[in-house]
Amino acid sequence: MLLNANDKLVMIGDSITDAGRAQPYGEGLFEPYGRGYVNLVNALLGAVNPDLMIRVVNVGTSGHTTRDLKSRWQRDVFDLKPQWVSCMIGINDVWRQFDMPWQTEVHVLPDEYRANLDELVGQTVGKVKGMVLLTPYYIEPNRNDGMRAQMDRYGAIVKEIAAKHKTLCVDTQAAFDRVLKQYYPGTLAWDRVHPSSIGHMVLAKAFLDALGFVWK
């Protein structure tokens, strides 16, 4: 596995990462990691590799876009001095174009999304051991659906940035597409965005697989 003993892993993103985590930082006692994939990642790392003492910190914030991450990256990433950083962002950058189409000032269009993410990753890769970028996703098997098609475009941007900066990349959409062969979208997420426990485990497994986690 790519994570080493005593590494600190900071996981940043939007509500999918947040999942009700503790404030100001999701770490410590009494279920601070939220109810999502970050909690599962922390639990699996601790249960399977207790000797490594890997430290996970959840700094996801509901509703955030790449614009918001730029404003808090120093406080929530650099100030925490992590060895590894995980970032899954983009769902709201896309979603606001569909659920608030009239409020164009909050839309983060592809060129801005690319620039924002490129800036954040470019500032970070030289300061950490490793970085993991996770694509945004939409739990909808119809690739011609408007929001699914736009999410795929943003996912392609994440892959582009990951290749440019030589970071790990997790294709979360592909992970969901695999299970969508069996499940109706509403089974995995009532709004096709916020996952059930099964959906969060799909994310956790894809993330850990990218790190070379050994499922003993």
The mean pLDDT of 28-36, rounded to a whole number, is 95
Give the separation between CA 121 and CA 133, rounded to whole angstroms: 9
Give the separation between CA 196 and CA 167, rounded to whole angstroms: 28
Catalytic positions are 15, 191, 194
pTM comes to 0.96
The mean pLDDT of 46-74, rounded to a whole number, is 97
Identify the sign of the CA torsion 3, 115, 156, 203: positive
Q: Is the predicted pLDDT of residue 98 greater than 80, yes or no?
A: yes
The mean pLDDT of 119-145, rounded to a whole number, is 97
* Mean pLDDT value across the chain: 97
Q: Which two tokens stand for residue 148?
A: 């699914």
- pLDDT > 70 in the chain, percent: 100
Cis peptide, bond prior to residue 24, ω within 30 of zero: yes
pLDDT of the residue at 164? 98
pLDDT of the residue at 215? 86
Angle at 59 between CA 56 and CA 89, to 5 degrees: 110
pLDDT of the residue at 172? 98
pLDDT of the residue at 52? 97
pLDDT of the residue at 216? 74
Amino acid 35 reads: R
Give the separation between CA 59 and CA 79, rounded to whole angstroms: 12
The neighbouring-strand residues paired with 56 are: 9
Closest CA to 17 of 132, 97, 116, 126: 132
Closest CA to 45 of 168, 172, 213: 213
- Set out the domains of the chain in order of their start, with CATH numbers: 8-210 (3.40.50.1110)
The mean pLDDT of 158-178, rounded to a whole number, is 98
Q: How many residues does the chain have?
A: 216
